[in-house]
Amino acid sequence: MMTASSTVEFTRRAANVFFHVLTRCNLRCRHCYIHPKQHGRKRLPIASIERWLAVFAERSPGANVVFLGGEPTLHPDLPQAVRCARRLGFASITIDTNGYLFNRILDRVTPAEVDVFSFSLDGATPATNDGLRGQGSYDTCLEGLRKARAKGFRTSLIYTVSRANLHELPRMGPLLNDLGVERFFIQVLGLRGKAASPGGAAGARPILRVSRTEWLEIVPAAAAAVARRGIRVIYPKVFMAPHETFECAGRVADNYFVFPNGRVYRCPLCEDLPIHSLAFDGDRLVETPSMNESDLFRLDIPEGCVMNKLIQPDNLTATAAGVPEYKIACCLLKEEISAGS
């Protein structure tokens, strides 16, 4: 089978609400992006979840909603939140989970209510995954995914690439077929949360991001190999040639990253900083005063993404004359590959 590759373009027709209903989690992943100092430790009450969902339903009709955390299934009222999103007309409802599936979630929602359960796994083997996500998390994730499939739910799997697991990415294809996963998301490790803290969670340098050479050598080929197995693969573009057109999703797309402490960001790379452009004041979504992330979105720089240059400039290179050799794409710009004929 051939594969067809295309860049998924930003569009205002596809608004996305990434709703962190709590920040608590049973796992302690080495690269966890949750930053309690910025995102709090609160579990958002269901009454607030419902009112905030209504705000987004009115502001961006037909948006997709992704419930996440922390581990969102730790929220006992998640099924009610799902049904509320359905009633409000969200185009699709996804639950991101580490696979532990608390509060009997699979018995309390139906495939008609939840479009996709999206599981996180960071290795093709227990040794690699559990080294990043914790002992037993590989087996539990696979068991949870199989249970979800057995109940008729559609599933996807997210693999966050770092130096610790890049080598196992090319081995994911058979496992994904065996599990019956429909979509495979490859993510790049972002310098956020624990991955950004000096010393990291492991006591040494933070878990390492892969270099441009490593990324280009391994990821596109591994993604194409999975796509040839009939699975849709979505992965970030990351590196752009100087002539390619750069766009910042903060300017042209309609994404909301909502935290239980009321902060609402338009860019996930900004989440470690108090520069959110929107916030819930009670149940009203209001703009925050300048300076905030929106002021950064407006800056045009030859290196592409401004936030990348601010928080992770080590992935940029320049010629002797100081001209950037490539641009860093918006982290929300994705390539999608599916099997073609």
- Interface residues with ligand SF4 (CB under 6 A) are 25, 27-29, 32, 34, 69-71, 98, 120, 133, 248-250, 267, 269, 296-297, 305-308, 330-332
CB-wise, 230 or 313, nearer to ligand SF4? 313
Query: How many whole angstroms separate alpha carbon 161 and alpha carbon 184?
Result: 13
CB-wise, 227 or 267, nearer to ligand SF4? 267
Residue holding tokens 């080929």? 221
CB-wise, 133 or 183, nearer to ligand SF4? 133
Residue 158 parent element (H or E): strand 154-161
Three-class SS string for 255-280? EEEECCCCEEECCHHHCCCCCCCEEE
- Residue 58: exposed, middle, or buried by beta-carbon count in 10 A (0-12, 13-18, 19+)? exposed
CB 248 within 8 A of CB 297: yes
Which tokens is 337 given?
Answer: 């590959």
Rounded least distance, CB 24 to ligand SF4, Å: 9
Rounded least distance, CB 112 to ligand SF4, Å: 27
CB-wise, 168 or 293, nearer to ligand SF4? 293
CB 231 within 8 A of CB 181: yes
Rounded least distance, CB 190 to ligand SF4, Å: 9
Three-class SS string for 24-60? CCCCCCCCCCCCHHHHCCCECCHHHHHHHHHHHHHHC
CB-wise, 133 or 209, nearer to ligand SF4? 133
Greatest pairwise CA separation for the chain in angstroms: 61
Rounded least distance, CB 68 to ligand SF4, Å: 8
CB-wise, 88 or 239, nearer to ligand SF4? 239
Q: Which of 79, 90, 331 is nearest to 191 (CA)?
A: 331
Rounded least distance, CB 307 to ligand SF4, Å: 4
Rounded least distance, CB 229 to ligand SF4, Å: 26
CB-wise, 26 or 110, nearer to ligand SF4? 26
Look at strands 232-236 and 334-340 and give their pairing.
antiparallel
Which tokens is 282 given?
Answer: 């009670």
Query: How many whole angstroms separate alpha carbon 51 and alpha carbon 253?
Result: 23
Rounded least distance, CB 87 to ligand SF4, Å: 27
Rounded least distance, CB 308 to ligand SF4, Å: 6
CB-wise, 81 or 305, nearer to ligand SF4? 305
